């Protein structure tokens, strides 16, 4: 039979209330009494009822994270960094991957509410109108939310400056002499990277070839990059460079071109986005735009804990924050810059 808090109190010669104060981290207990209670806990191998404690304190020390997919290594890295950032603060992370399904999004949302999570982090998942109804549940239950979705400004938001990152990436390709640059992107995704491409062309007094901007419904993944590149090649539409929405799309594009006998970067330059771990190991090593995932995760964890520790009225009054992070262009082999530097 499991030992009870009453037995711990009796073994330590104190009241149940004093044991409870120690378990809940209260200060009004003498150090000698605290040591005596801890010794009794260890001797009896007492395990507090976490469910009961969470009901009393109205906290579970858990944070829910909803991401659109795990096929993209970016979200795996984000989960790892967030977990590392929350762990020293005493919180554990519960993960839900939706595969971009609206039904799964709502199911995870309701599940996390039922689990009484202390906060919720939402990636760019809630893309359909009916999902607004699901998000109303968060307001009803007053669950703190931080989003990673630049489209969703109803909550505190952590965003990368993708306009800056995309502009810098395409500017780099233009400086290398490219004018026919294809953009591979998803139609349902945020459009800041497309705006970055257009901005780079505008800054250089160049005209965008609209036929080389390819938007595809569905996931922006390896298969999308592979298939859209095959489609572009089938159109016999000349292009000398590809700017891919993310790194896995870039990997798919490179594979498609290899199958058609094209070399990267000798025939076509490629730039990705995110700088996932595979980007440096891929051959050719991928030129890409690096997102500061660790810095984003640490800032997000700090902000989330601050919101959780506010009382409900203070939380409602607090202005929503939008924290933006600069992107960094990482030049490797796939853009051809190093090849040109060596006069090849």
Q: What is the pLDDT of residues 235-256, one digit of tens each?
A: 888 999 999 999 999 999 999 9
pLDDT digits (tens, 9 = 90+) for 309-332: 887 778 878 888 899 999 999 999
pTM value? Answer: 0.77
Which is more confidently placed, 55 or 84?
84
Please give the pLDDT value at position 42.
Answer: 86
Which is more confidently placed, 53 or 196?
196
Q: Which of 8-17, 48-57, 92-101, 122-131 has the lowest mean pLDDT?
A: 48-57
Please give the pLDDT value at position 135.
Answer: 65
Please give the pLDDT value at position 32.
Answer: 86
pLDDT digits (tens, 9 = 90+) for 92-110: 999 999 887 778 888 888 8
Which is more confidently placed, 295 or 45?
295
pLDDT digits (tens, 9 = 90+) for 18-72: 887 787 665 567 888 888 888 888 888 887 665 554 544 567 899 999 998 888 8
Average pLDDT for residues 287-304, to the nearest whole number? 95
Please give the pLDDT value at position 161.
Answer: 93
Domains annotated on the chain, with CATH: 5-48 (1.10.260.40), 62-160+293-326 (3.40.50.2300), 162-291+330-341 (3.40.50.2300)
- Average predicted confidence (pLDDT) for the chain: 86
Task: Tell me, letter by letter, the H, E, C secondary structure of the chain.
Answer: CCCCHHHHHHHHCCCHHHHHHHHCCCCCCCHHHHHHHHHHHHHHCCCCCHHHHHHHHCCCCEEEEEECCCCCHHHHHHHHHHHHHHHHHCCEEEEEECCCCHHHHHHHHHHHHHCCCCEEEECCCCCCCCHHHHHHHHHHCCCCEEECCCCCCCCEEEEECHHHHHHHHHHHHHHCCCCCEEEEEECCCCCHHHHHHHHHHHHCCCCCCHHHEEEECCCCCHHHHHHHHHHHHHCCCCCCEEEECCHHHHHHHHHHHHHCCCCCCCCCEEECCECCCHHHHCCCCCEEEECCHHHHHHHHHHHHHHHHCCCHHHHHHCCCCEEEECCEEECCCCCCHHHHHCCC
Q: Give the contacts of 132 (CB within 8 A, at least 6 positions apart).
A: 126
Partner residues linked to 160 by β-bridges: 325
Q: How many angstroms from the chain centroid is the CA of residue 242?
A: 24
Number of Cβ within 10 Å of residue 278's Cβ equals: 14
Q: Residue 342: pLDDT band by 50, 70, 90 thresholds? A: very low
pLDDT digits (tens, 9 = 90+) for 142-189: 788 999 987 777 789 998 899 999 999 999 999 999 999 999 987 755
Q: How many percent of the chain have pLDDT more than 70?
A: 88
Q: Which of 60-69, 199-208, 254-263, 265-274 has the lowest mean pLDDT?
A: 60-69
Average pLDDT for residues 205-218, to the nearest whole number? 90
Please give the pLDDT value at position 55.
Answer: 46
Residue with tokens 């009393």: 56
Average pLDDT for residues 80-103, to the nearest whole number? 90
Please give the pLDDT value at position 3.
Answer: 84
* CA–CA dist 96, 80 (Å, integer): 14
* CA–CA dist 311, 332 (Å, integer): 48
Please give the pLDDT value at position 131.
Answer: 56
Q: Are 224 and 162 in contact (CB under 8 A)?
A: no
Please give the pLDDT value at position 287.
Answer: 97
Which is more confidently placed, 339 or 172?
172
Q: Residue 344: pLDDT band by 50, 70, 90 thresholds? A: very low
Q: How many angstroms from the chain centroid is the CA of residue 187?
A: 19
* CA–CA dist 69, 158 (Å, integer): 18
């Amino acid at each position: 039979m499991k030992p009870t808090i009453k037995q711990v109190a009796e073994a330590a010669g104190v009241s149940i209330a004093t044991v409870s104060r120690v378990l809940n981290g209260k200060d009004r207990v003498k150090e000698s009494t605290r040591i005596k209670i801890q010794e009794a806990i260890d001797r009896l191998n007492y395990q507090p009822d976490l469910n009961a404690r969470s009901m009393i304190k109205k906290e579970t020390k858990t944070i829910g994270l909803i991401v659109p997919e795990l096929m993209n290594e970016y979200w795996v890295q984000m989960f790892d960094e967030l977990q590392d950032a929350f762990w020293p603060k005493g919180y554990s992370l519960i993960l839900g991957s939706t595969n971009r399904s609206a039904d799964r999004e709502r199911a995870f949302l309701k599940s996390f509410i039922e689990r009484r999570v202390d906060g919720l982090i939402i990636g760019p998942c809630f893309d359909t109108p009916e999902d607004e109804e699901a998000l109303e549940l968060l307001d009803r239950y007053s669950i703190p939310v931080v989003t990673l979705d630049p489209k969703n400004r109803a909550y505190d938001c952590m965003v990368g400056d993708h306009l800056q990152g995309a502009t810098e990436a395409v500017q780099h390709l233009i400086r290398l002499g490219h004018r026919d640059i294809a953009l591979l992107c998803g139609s349902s995704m945020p459009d800041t990277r497309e705006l970055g491409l257009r901005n780079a062309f505008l800054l250089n007094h160049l005209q965008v070839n609209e036929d080389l901007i390819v938007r595809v419904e569905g996931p922006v993944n390896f298969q999308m990059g592979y298939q859209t590149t095959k489609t572009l090649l089938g159109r016999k539409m000349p292009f000398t460079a590809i700017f891919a929405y993310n790194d896995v799309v870039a990997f798919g594009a490179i594979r498609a071109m290899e199958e058609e006998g094209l070399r990267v970067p000798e025939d076509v330059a490629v730039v990705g986005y995110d700088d996932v771990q595979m980007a440096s190991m891929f051959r050719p090593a991928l030129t890409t735009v690096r997102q500061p995932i660790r810095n984003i995760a640490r800032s997000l964890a700090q902000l989330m804990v601050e919101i959780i520790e506010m009382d409900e009225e203070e939380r409602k009054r607090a202005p929503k924050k939008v924290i933006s992070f600069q992107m960094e262009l990482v030049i490797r082999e796939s853009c051809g810059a190093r090849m040109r530097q060596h006069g090849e």
